[in-house]
Chain A
Amino acid sequence: MADFDAIVVGAGLAGSVAALELARAEKSVLVIERGNFAGAKNMTGGRIYVHSLRKVFSDEELAEAPFERKITHERISLMAPDSNLTIDFTSDELGRDEHASYSVLHAPFDQWLAEKAEEAGAEFIYGIPVEGLMKDESGKVIGVSAGEDEITAEVVILADGANSLLAKEAVFYEKPPANQMAVGVKEVFELPAATITDRVLAASDDEGAAWLFAGDATHGVFGGGFMYTNRDSISLGVVAGIDAVANGDCVPVYQMLEDLKQHPSVAPLIKGAKVVEHSGHMVPEGGVNIMPPLVNDGVMLAGDCAMMCLNLGYMVRGMDYAVAAGQMAGKNAARAIDAQDTSINGLVHYVEDLENSFVMKDLHQYKNEPAFLESFDRMFNAYPALARDVMNSMFVVDGSPAAPIKKKVLPKVKQVGLLNIVKDARGAMKAL
């Protein structure tokens, strides 16, 4: 007899939801988390799209979730060193409860999720990094090890995030390539709720903005800047391609963030605010291209450790995928335990469920996108400058005789190359 029906490694979104589903199915489940509490080792942008949580929790339960603010303003900027063009979108549709999105901080949010799983009967131990997987003679995973300790289970679910050290043992996945991973660096700025509300023009302290910056935020390197309003703080950061930064002629990522903070269009947002945390975390951006096998004998992978994340330049999405994948992993693990078959054949229904869900459909859909963006230097250099020049020629009035807009704009467009613009637009349509 194994010590537990299931062991989950990692109390992030995928892990806690998987454990919750197992506990609801009356399986004994142990979650092992290396942080001293859920979320203690975790960082995100971030904003969570609520749709996949609605499949796990009732409206009453969700009403108690530690969401920071509902996102009612979507802002995208094309940033040049000396200018910034912003689109601010808001609509009734955007804020509708069924598909709303909320800013979150991992520490409070992951703790809430873990509590929910615990209430349902899952057990948690904290402060212990799992170091290895136990296998039987046939190679089937039968448990985990940490230091001298060994614990066995019918099935092990890996939900250990983007920097999984266990995927290699589980499914022979060495590690993702540097050109399909990004590094995120973020700072949290403390400010009174009302000040934040005023600065982003939100309607109340329950609402806020998501803001993405392309171009000079990363000094032209593949990536972008982001800003999310929390209730009493602002999350501001930069995500940049690891390979692009490592091999580029650029400043370090932490300096990119420092420069973003000083940019005239960002500085007023955080004026007078105190930095209360400086964090770093990786983002998988390759989607389905870099996915490891999702199951093996006795083991399943869910969330970032399975590269279920998308970095589209204008948005990073991984949390709603992690929740959905965790739910499917937990349910299918419980079924496999009931059927007394936790071999790869018993667990493969998890992969089928995923393939039929939005998770894999999205990851397939966008599979050409990162490569397209990665090779799309103009988005990060030429277009922000073009936007600046066009806007300057429209809005700067110096008393010289007015020329038709076309006459002003065309020379700027020619600098980038009309054919390039057409080509990029087509490339974008194809990838999306």
Chain B
Amino acid sequence: MSDMKITVNVDEYLAVNKYEVDEETAHIELVDEPSPAEFDKLIRVCPAGLYKRDEDGRESFDYAGCLECGTCRIICGDTILSKWAYPGPTMGVEYRYG
């Protein structure tokens, strides 16, 4: 990703949001061994920065901070996402401003 730097820790901003996390069911799931090129797309487009690759190249995704925007579904719904649904009743993010 060229020379432009990541200086922000989005998790700190997500921490000010209100969530009711469904611990039992993930509403978004990835296929096993997703293509790294497709995963790169998700790293760039997810407004919550939930698709991550650490320094050792390990990929991770945590649905808990999801903003339910659907962007990952539009770009990778037919490639490396195996499931995209809205969280179950009363679950997920709750905006107070919007």
- Residues of chain A having any CB pair with chain B under 8 Å: 34-36, 39-44, 105-107, 110, 127-129, 131, 146-147, 162-163, 165, 175-176, 178, 181, 183-185, 187-188, 219, 233, 235, 242-243, 245-255, 258-259, 275-282
- Identify which of B13, B67, B71, B93 gathers the most chain A CB atoms within 10 Å of its CB: B71
Is B58 among interface residues, defined by CB-CB distance under 8 A? no
A115–chain B nearest beta-carbon distance, Å: 16
Q: Mind listing 22 A-B residue pairs with CB under 8 Å?
A: A36-B94, A41-B94, A110-B98, A127-B90, A163-B73, A163-B74, A176-B74, A245-B45, A246-B45, A248-B44, A252-B49, A254-B49, A275-B16, A277-B96, A278-B14, A278-B17, A278-B67, A279-B95, A279-B97, A280-B69, A280-B71, A282-B70
B49–chain A nearest beta-carbon distance, Å: 5
Interface residues on B, range: 35 or more
A432 to B17 Cα, complex, angstroms: 39
A282 near B94: Cβ-Cβ < 8 Å? no
A266–chain B nearest beta-carbon distance, Å: 15
**Other 17 A-B pairs with CB < 8 A, given A106-B97, A278-B47:** A36-B90, A42-B98, A43-B98, A162-B70, A165-B86, A248-B44, A251-B6, A252-B6, A254-B8, A254-B46, A258-B7, A259-B7, A275-B13, A276-B97, A279-B67, A279-B95, A282-B69
Task: Report if A255-B4 is in contact (Cβ < 8 Å); known contacts: A41-B92, A163-B69, A280-B48.
Answer: yes
B93 near A41: Cβ-Cβ < 8 Å? yes
| Cβ-defined partner of B4 (8 Å) among A146, A147, A162, A250 | A250
A110 to B14 Cα, complex, angstroms: 23
A107 near B75: Cβ-Cβ < 8 Å? no
A85 to B7 Cα, complex, angstroms: 26
A255 near B94: Cβ-Cβ < 8 Å? no
Taking CB as reference atom, which chain A residue is nearest B7?
Answer: A258
